[in-house]
Amino acid sequence: EVQLVESGGGLVKPGGSLRLSCAASGFTFSNAWMSWVRQAPGKGLEWVGRIKSKTDGGTTDYAAPVKGRFTISRDDSKNTLYLQMNSLKTEDTAVYYCTTGSWGAFDIWGQGTMVTVSS
């Protein structure tokens, strides 16, 4: 069964850090371009960033609101994607999804993990 399972969410103070993980199974993780997408409470979907497969260079791209604060990485030996979030702001409060897919689309999604940034 194709599956993505996020973990690591929780409550953190402004300025703090948090690392999210996404465990993949049921597909060839090493070949996949992986993205993080977030959704603030009551708001729409927002792309956070992406990491390409190592065969495609393994490079990362980030949305402007998180660039310089968030880092996406992957461990293909563990079939796991990571999102390191530093200098967190209240506006980073959201459900964070990892996602991937074919045809340029996101057809595999995790269940999401909630991150709350509050003092």
Partner 1 sequence: SYELTQPPSVSVSPGQTARITCSGDALPKQYAYWYQQKPGQAPVLVIYKDSERPSGIPERFSGSSSGTTVTLTISGVQAEDEADYYCQSADSSGTWVVFGGGTKLTVL
Could you give the C-alpha distances from 35 to 12, 14, 15, 91, 95, in angstroms and in order?
22, 24, 24, 20, 14
- Determine which residue in the list 3, 11, 61, 90 makes contact with partner 1, applying CB under 8 A: 61
Q: What is the largest CA-CA distance in the chain?
A: 42
d(CA 66, CA 107): 24
Q: List CB contacts of 70: < 8 A, sequence separation 6 or more.
A: 48, 49, 62, 83, 84, 85, 86
- Which C-beta is closer to partner 1: that of 27 or that of 47? 47
Only segment of 13-21, 22-30, 76-84, 97-105 that touches partner 1 (CB under 8 A)? 97-105
27 is an interface residue for partner 1 by CB under 8 A: no
Told to check if 57 binds partner 1 by CB under 8 A, we report no
| Residue from 72, 94, 97, 100 binding partner 1 (CB under 8 A) | 97
Site membership for partner 1, residue 70 (CB under 8 A): no
CB of 106 to partner 1, least distance (A): 6
